[in-house]
Amino acid sequence: MTAPEKQERGTKGTWTRRGVLAGLLGAPVLLVAACNDPVSSSGSAASGTTAAGVGGVPAAGATGTPSSSPRTSTARISISPADGVSTASFTRPITVTVTGGTLASVTATDGSGRAVPGTRAADGLSWTSTGPLASGTRYSVAASAVDKDGLEADAHAAFATASPANTFVGYFTPEDGATVGVGMPVTINFNKPVANRRAVEQAITVTADTGVEVVGHWFSSTRLDFRPRDYWAKGTTVTLKLRLKDVEGAKGVYGTQSKDVRFTVGRSRTSVADLSAHTLTVTTDGQVTATYPIIGGAPDHRTWGGKLVISEQFEQTKMDSTTVGLGDEYNIPDVPHAQRLTTSGTFIHGNYWSPAAAFGTANLSHGCIALRDVKGGGDATTDAAVFFAHSMVGDVVEVINSGDQTVSPTNGLSGWNLGWADWKAGSAL
């Protein structure tokens, strides 16, 4: 008769069984040699076996050759990428396959312990990750399988994905935490041309807490703007989510950004520059709050018509005609209270060099809109100083009766000059 079996922890963390035949420790050698029944598949010793353990090592005091070896699972597991790989492709999924059995479990995690989702095939022979992998990230995979006899096999792999050799980024405005005017679009300028516009636009979302629809519009392969149908409502919080990391913008060129940006829309303030009446009328939160006499573009340098948006503000700046293709017609080093309206060089700014009588009566400029000011801009009571002090990036200045064509939607932040249907037609989605 055999004594009860005793379980012992093996040196490698697995359980082994050793049959202990206490009554045979002092038995004659002849009896030991005569007892040669096989070990059962369950791992327990059959009646009449020797005192040999499953590992083939005789129990203490026993002699002779062990009767059998432990049974090994016939299941064989393969993991790709393989263990130890340091430059795995992040564009390909993790795969786990098995032969001689079926998968029982698969767990994949990144270096932060976040689970990688995946799907096991209906036949239990494979598992494939369904979530995208990240570049430059370590992953680990643990899998188990069982064969037809229920015996288990285990496998583990740890690997790292490569970082892309070619990348692109999007430079966005406005900045996180900014407070802007009601006409401020979200503008993203990419440092490399985007060929896969749909994939990139899908990776960028702009939402408003008011729930209005916000749509993207591609002006070129390097510029994508977002706006609602009408100006933002005052007090709106707008959230930009960039999820460009590992998005393929062009063949072999991948994004690197994963970032959230939030900005707030301030009071509602719009202005209308009527260049036939030579006035600038300011409306704040639905009420006319100021009217200023102005100078607009002369007949040979008319001011662009349409809705222009303030994109930059300077207490003082230099204006040189050579930078806008007008030769040496002017070079003013200290233009006060200047606010940019177009990329091509249209500003609304202070003017100290024109005669006072010209404001409100004549259009004499090279295309800019001018308000009365003093040299150095030190007088806070001038029209230009007051208008500047109450303005912010994103405020709209609409120019009417200028005699010139409507400004191009791509010139500055002038996308409001496109109707809603045309705007939506420029979306890749």
| CA 156 and chain centroid, separation | 31
Contact indicator for 41, 61 with CB cutoff of 8 Å: no
Number of H helices, E strands in the chain: 4, 29
> Is the C-alpha dihedral spanning 408, 414, 416, 421 positive or negative?
positive
State both tokens at 111: 């270096």
Contact indicator for 81, 95 with CB cutoff of 8 Å: no
**Closest C-alpha to 170, from 244, 93, 236:** 244
Active site residue 35: no
For residues 393 and 415, what is the distance between their CA atoms, to the nearest angstrom? 15
**Closest C-alpha to 232, from 181, 281, 173:** 181
What number of CA atoms fall less than 13 Å from residue 107's CA on the CB side? 6
For residues 411 and 59, what is the distance between their CA atoms, to the nearest angstrom? 89
Burial grade of 344 (CB within 10 A; 0-12, 13-18, 19 or more): middle
Which of 217, 278, 337, 368 is an active site residue?
A: 368
325 — phi, psi (to 5°)? 75, 25
Per-position DSSP letters for 9-33, written without gaps between them: E-TTS-EEEE---GGGTT--HHHHH
State both tokens at 285: 């939160």
For residues 137 and 131, what is the distance between their CA atoms, to the nearest angstrom? 14
State both tokens at 17: 């069984």
Length of the chain, please? 429
Active site residue 368: yes
Pairing of strands 253-255, 167-168: parallel
Which of 217, 278, 337, 349 is an active site residue?
A: 349
User: Can you point out the beta strands (E) in 161-310?
Assistant: 167-168, 170-173, 179-180, 186-190, 204-208, 215-220, 223-227, 237-243, 248-250, 253-255, 258-265, 269-274, 279-284, 287-293, 306-309
State both tokens at 139: 């992953």
Active site residues: 349, 368
